[in-house]
């Protein structure tokens, strides 16, 4: 098993990559979606979600992908995966909109380019509401700022504006609301997505890695959610039975699922060889109320889950997921350094 660190696009700087090496990582996962970096503060609006994407009509180029890979390699790091398709590139795949077939062709081209550059994996979340309805407060150890979920109807019932998927805006001009989308409609869309793209991924040598819905609630902001239980994850894997159809196994999200057994889930999916890479995070509680915690203070015994991965021969990358911020001049970096230090020691302890 190898340690990695996930970076948002605006964090991909030589200094941050050196930080990753210093903290014990040998790999990185790069988000190529701009998120809040693209959001002009002067026009910050509550209804744009995490940010605005301006990548409509411009796929990631081979040069751009190669540049990110070279940046990582110059710092002595492997680029293990890119995470998340840009909402501008696949909104109508998620919405079953008029440009669905064109955007499937664009995703196929993106997968081929990622493969051509030698990046082995793309992580994605097949969701309309994305990560939303979370709140932030001082609820991890020592009053560390962290995300929590309490199923507040003001957030969970907030309609999704048109022009937005995955909690990001791709069309600022769109008016009105998305309305209701059922779980069955979403499964149909996901099944067609996998049927169309897993063969492309196989040919390109790229693994498609699905992240569970976070928070794992069946309906959020009027839209059905697919991957809210370990059975849902198993269903995704059997939909197209290929090693290129795999999981971005988020231990945190699995622990948030009511009634889930995270150890059984990690065992089942890693024994089947269907874990592309792992998001390591701890939580206390499950839906409808949980808080994200430091790796050593949540409900999951992280050493036990790592032992299961090791015993099943998992040799992929582990990255810390989001982590509580620590009180200092660099709250994100300190949280990540703590997580990577903990993971380094845990892997050493496993022997």
279 near Mn ion, rule: CB under 5 A:
yes
Smallest gap from Cβ 240 to Mn ion, in A, equals: 22
3-state secondary structure of 212: coil
Smallest gap from Cβ 83 to Mn ion, in A, equals: 9
Smallest gap from Cβ 184 to Mn ion, in A, equals: 25
Smallest gap from Cβ 216 to Mn ion, in A, equals: 11
Partners of residue 207 on adjacent β-strands: 121
Which C-beta is closer to Mn ion: that of 83 or that of 106? Answer: 83
321 near Mn ion, rule: CB under 5 A:
yes
Smallest gap from Cβ 237 to Mn ion, in A, equals: 18
Smallest gap from Cβ 211 to Mn ion, in A, equals: 6
Which C-beta is closer to Mn ion: that of 103 or that of 251? Answer: 251
Dihedral sign (CA 234, 236, 242, 244): negative
* Residues contacting Mn ion: total by CB under 5 A: 3
Smallest gap from Cβ 179 to Mn ion, in A, equals: 28
Determine the Cα–Cα distance for residues 210 and 79; give it in Å rounded to an integer: 18
Chain position whose Cβ is nearest to Mn ion? 250
The answer to whether the beta carbons of residues 9 and 37 sit under 8 Å apart is yes
Lookup result for tokens 């022997």: 351
Which C-beta is closer to Mn ion: that of 161 or that of 252? Answer: 252
- Which positions from 196 through 225 interact with Mn ion, judged by CB under 5 A? none
Buried b (16+ CB within 10 A) or exposed e, 169-196: bbbeeeeeebeebeeeebbebbeebbeb
Sole window of 31-39, 198-206, 267-275, 276-284 interacting with Mn ion (rule: CB under 5 A): 276-284
250 near Mn ion, rule: CB under 5 A:
yes
Determine the Cα–Cα distance for residues 129 and 325; give it in Å rounded to an integer: 24
Determine the Cα–Cα distance for residues 292 and 279; give it in Å rounded to an integer: 13
Which C-beta is closer to Mn ion: that of 113 or that of 279? Answer: 279
Which residues 6+ apart lie within 8 Å of 345 measured at CB? none
Strands in 143-216 per DSSP E? 144-149, 164-165, 168-169, 207-210
Which C-beta is closer to Mn ion: that of 34 or that of 292? Answer: 292
- Output the CA–CA distances (angstroms, integers) from residue 7 to 30, 133, 155, 324, in the order listed: 5, 22, 27, 16
Sole window of 51-59, 142-150, 163-171, 319-327 interacting with Mn ion (rule: CB under 5 A): 319-327
Which C-beta is closer to Mn ion: that of 213 or that of 321? Answer: 321
Q: Which residues bind Mn ion (CB under 5 A)?
A: 250, 279, 321
């Amino acid at each position: 098993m190898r340690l990695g660190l996930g970076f948002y696009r605006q964090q991909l700087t030589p200094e941050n990559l050196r930080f990753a090496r210093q903290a014990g990582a040998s790999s990185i996962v790069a988000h190529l979606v701009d998120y809040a970096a693209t959001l002009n503060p002067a026009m910050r609006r509550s209804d744009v979600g995490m940010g605005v994407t301006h990548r409509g009509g411009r796929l990631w180029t081979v040069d751009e992908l190669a540049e990110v890979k070279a940046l990582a390699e110059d710092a002595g790091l492997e680029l293990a995966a890119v995470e998340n398709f840009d909402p501008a590139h696949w909104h109508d795949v998620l919405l079953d909109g008029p440009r669905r077939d064109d955007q499937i062709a664009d995703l196929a081209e993106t997968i081929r380019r990622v493969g051509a550059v030698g990046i082995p994996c793309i992580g994605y979340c097949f969701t309309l509401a994305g990560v939303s309805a979370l709140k932030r407060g001082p609820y991890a150890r020592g009053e560390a700022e962290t995300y929590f979920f309490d199923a507040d109807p003001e957030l969970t019932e907030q309609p999704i504006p048109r022009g937005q998927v995955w909690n990001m805006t791709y069309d600022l001009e769109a008016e009105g609301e998305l309305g209701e989308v059922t779980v069955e409609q979403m499964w149909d869309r996901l099944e067609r997505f996998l049927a169309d793209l897993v063969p492309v991924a196989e040919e390109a040598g790229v693994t498609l890695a699905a992240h569970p819905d976070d928070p794992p609630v069946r309906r959020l902001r009027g839209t059905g959610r697919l991957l809210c239980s370990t059975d849902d994850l198993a269903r995704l894997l059997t939909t197209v039975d290929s090693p290129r159809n795999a999981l971005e196994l988020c231990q945190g999200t699995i622990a948030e699922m009511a009634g889930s057994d995270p150890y059984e889930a990690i065992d089942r999916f890693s024994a089947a060889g269907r874990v592309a890479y792992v998001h390591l995070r701890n939580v206390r509680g499950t839906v409808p109320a949980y808080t994200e915690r430091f790796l050593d203070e949540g409900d999951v015994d992280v050493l036990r889950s790592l032992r299961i991965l090791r015993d099943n021969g998992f040799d992929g990358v582990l990255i810390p997921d989001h982590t509580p911020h620590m009180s200092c001049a660099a709250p994100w970096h300190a949280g990540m350094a703590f997580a990577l230090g903990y993971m380094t020691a845990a892997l050493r302890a496993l022997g």
